[in-house]
């Protein structure tokens, strides 16, 4: 019992009876995908919940990212961060775009906005920052740079479901924001994702692109892809909206307990809440400084594993270190010092709504001794 495996995340599921009711409706209707009733309702309710104008649902976050770049016809070079999940850069690669990596700031792990201008070339068309762990990137500065240089901004908001800055959704910054609803995310539709946009015209283009480019039965306006969310997942997502606030509150309690119990442990750093931000507590990263802590990050990571605690080193290695990207000039680690250090220090500890306080203490006890 004491040694039960604890994974980094555990998906929250909707009420099964309610989901079965939705399934019965779908079974009766025989409408199982392609912009059905549940899909349309979920888009509307999600937009209202998030406080955004328009949501286009996708089958996953990666296809949403790839399609967001297509939507804005991004080409050439795009400035991005190496400190993310590989999907961020892969989306550029799948569009034939050259990623240009810029270092992160060392406080929250987001792209360092003060280094973006130096990376702009005549080929730069856009900036693709990530709100890492749900902490907002420097949106005002990034949007200002984009305005000055005539660049587009697509935020990879895969971690930022429900995050608000000064009471406003973080998804309203930039041209487009992309969400992931993967099983491991704060809000899941098993697999899934979305693009958030500001106006109807843009939504129309996004919706064409995720459905092969069809504008009507006989008109294909662009070489689109098939990235539609089906009715079962949309119905599941609608039910998930009922419990998301309660789950976020429970995640906050877990994060607070971690902070309380790890406070003062030499060599273990963590992120604190920012006053102006409504957080979603999607991840709980700790940063191991082995000059001050009794062991290296990897020694702690494997010690936790030996105790059946499966944290994850999100995001190690850096994307810029993978074979597909390490040959790029901007992948030179000398220019990515903060990112390299952070990737070598991080462990994301388990966090999910039903992680018990006893389990949190079991984890912190191992870290503290």
Task: Give phi and psi for 54, each to the nearest 5.
Answer: -135, 140
Looking at the Cβ atoms of 191 and 231, the one nearer to ligand T4K is: 191
Strand locations in 62-166, DSSP E? 77-80, 98-101, 124-128, 152-156, 164-165
CB of 291 to ligand T4K, least distance (A): 28
304 binds ligand T4K (CB under 6 A): no
Give, as ranges, the residues between 182 and 201 that touch ligand T4K (CB under 6 A): 182-184, 193
Q: Which residue has the closest beta carbon to ligand T4K?
A: 61
Looking at the Cβ atoms of 201 and 305, the one nearer to ligand T4K is: 305
In the list 80, 88, 110, 248, the residue contacting ligand T4K (rule: CB under 6 A) is: 88
Looking at the Cβ atoms of 62 and 67, the one nearer to ligand T4K is: 62
277 binds ligand T4K (CB under 6 A): no
How far is CA 148 from each of CA 123, 125, 144, rounded to the nearest angstrom? Answer: 15, 12, 6
Long-range contacts of 141-144 (CB under 8 A, 24+ apart): 141/113, 141/114, 142/111, 142/113, 142/116, 142/173, 142/174, 143/173, 143/174
241 binds ligand T4K (CB under 6 A): no
CB of 233 to ligand T4K, least distance (A): 12
230 binds ligand T4K (CB under 6 A): no
CA distance 123 to 77: 6
Stretch that binds ligand T4K, among 71-79, 178-186, 265-273, 284-292 (CB under 6 A): 178-186
CA distance 295 to 301: 10
How far is CA 331 from each of CA 98, 132, 285, 286, 328, rounded to the nearest angstrom? Answer: 12, 19, 24, 25, 5
Q: Which residues bind ligand T4K (CB under 6 A)?
A: 7-11, 60-62, 84-85, 87-88, 130, 156, 158-159, 180, 182-184, 193, 310, 312, 314
């Amino acid at each position: 019992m004491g040694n039960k495996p604890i994974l980094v995340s555990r998906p929250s599921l909707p009420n099964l009876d309610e989901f079965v009711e939705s399934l019965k409706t779908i079974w009766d209707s025989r409408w199982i995908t392609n912009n059905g009733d549940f899909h349309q309702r979920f888009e509307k309710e999600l937009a209202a919940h998030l406080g955004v104008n328009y949501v286009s649902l996708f089958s996953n976050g990666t296809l949403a990212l790839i399609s967001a770049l297509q939507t804005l016809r991004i080409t050439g070079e795009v400035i991005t961060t190496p400190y993310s999940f590989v999907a961020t850069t892969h989306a550029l690669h799948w569009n034939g775009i050259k990623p240009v990596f810029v270092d992160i700031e060392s406080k929250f792990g987001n792209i360092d906005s003060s280094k973006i201008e130096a990376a702009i070339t005549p080929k730069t068309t856009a900036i693709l920052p990530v709100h890492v762990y749900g902490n907002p990137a420097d949106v005002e500065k990034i949007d200002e740079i984009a305005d000055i240089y005539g660049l587009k901004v697509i935020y990879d908001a895969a971690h930022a479901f429900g995050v608000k800055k000064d009471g406003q959704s973080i998804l309203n910054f930039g041209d487009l924001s992309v969400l992931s609803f993967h099983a491991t995310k704060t809000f899941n539709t098993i697999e899934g994702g979305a693009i958030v946009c500001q106006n109807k015209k843009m939504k129309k283009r996004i919706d064409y692109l995720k459905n092969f480019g069809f504008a009507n039965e006989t008109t294909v306006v662009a070489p689109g892809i098939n990235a539609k969310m089906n009715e079962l997942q949309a119905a599941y997502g609608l039910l998930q909206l009922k419990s998301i606030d309660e789950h976020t509150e429970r995640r906050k309690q877990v994060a607070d307990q971690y902070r309380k119990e790890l406070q003062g442990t030499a060599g273990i750093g963590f992120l604190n809440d920012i006053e102006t931000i409504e957080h979603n507590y999607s991840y709980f990263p700790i940063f191991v400084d082995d000059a001050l802590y009794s062991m290296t990050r990897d020694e702690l990571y494997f010690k936790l594993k030996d105790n059946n605690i499966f944290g994850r080193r999100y995001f190690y290695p850096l994307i810029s270190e993978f074979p597909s990207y390490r040959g790029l000039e901007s992948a030179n680690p000398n220019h990515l010092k903060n990112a390299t250090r952070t990737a070598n220090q991080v462990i994301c500890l388990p966090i999910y709504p039903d992680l018990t306080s006893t389990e949190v203490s079991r984890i912190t006890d191992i870290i503290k001794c």
